[in-house]
Amino acid sequence: MSPAWLLAALLSALLVSQNAELDLSTIACSSTSLQQLYDVRAFFAQRLGSPDWLATCSEAALKKIVQRCGLGGNSTVFELGFGTGRLLQVLVRDVGVHSYDALELSEGQLNATARLRQGEALGHVHLHHSSRPLDFLRGSDGVGAYSHLFALFVLDAMSAEDIRDALMSMHSLADERARLCVATMAEVPSWSVALYKAAWRVLPLVFGGGRRPIRLRSLVDPGAWAELES
């Protein structure tokens, strides 16, 4: 191995070890950067005609999440960060929920999702866009009490303060026996996670679209939400 490659390997190992124990919930991309990224992704999704290449999880995994959350025909759903509408598709096509409201940061993403899903029987569906989604949640008159609230692979792109704020805002939208269904990149002690964290620190928007492993449990108010499954 040449000295240059050896030096590169040593520097990479050092970068990984320095970030292995770092709590990335204290570091986040700006909402403006994320909005611009999602607008670009939405542009290409519309041109390609299929959003599936942007999926953060498989359809089978998505259906398993829905099954564990106990939805049915009477369910009223709110989703924070609906992305390309894959959860919307499953809930309308396979479950037949009573209603579905959702909020997205990117106007481009909203337009792309509405266009890609326009041929489906959407029923009582309302898609919203706001460049300040937390302010929208706190002040909107167009949302009500929901039986199920979803935030799938969206909180892990937000700052710790915004995550807490989002969870409390969603709590105010929940009915008495509502379920909050959340999925994030998990912070677990493994070499692959440490490697990802190091790469994310260098190019956060490239790796995971701004999403990074977080310790979500520490950000949930136990007085508002009781953990059922993890």
pLDDT at res. 7? 47
Q: Which residues pair with 126 in a beta bridge?
A: 101
pLDDT at res. 161? 92
- CA–CA dist 150, 182 (Å, integer): 6
H or E segment to which residue 44 belongs: helix 31-48
Spatial neighbors of 45 by CB under 8 A, at least 6 apart, are 51, 53, 54, 84, 112, 116
Torsion angle, alpha carbons of 29, 214, 60, 175, to 10: -90
Strands of the sheet containing 146-152, edge to edge, are: 125-129, 99-104, 76-80, 146-152, 174-183
Global pTM reads 0.82
Residue 204's identity, in one-letter code, is P
pLDDT lower than 70: segments of the chain: 1-22, 45-46, 48-56, 115-123, 140-144, 187-189, 230
- CA–CA dist 105, 35 (Å, integer): 6
In the chain, the largest separation of any two C-alpha atoms, in whole Å, equals 65
**Measuring CA to CA, which residue among 127, 23, 13 is closest to residue 77?**
127
Spatial neighbors of 161 by CB under 8 A, at least 6 apart, are none
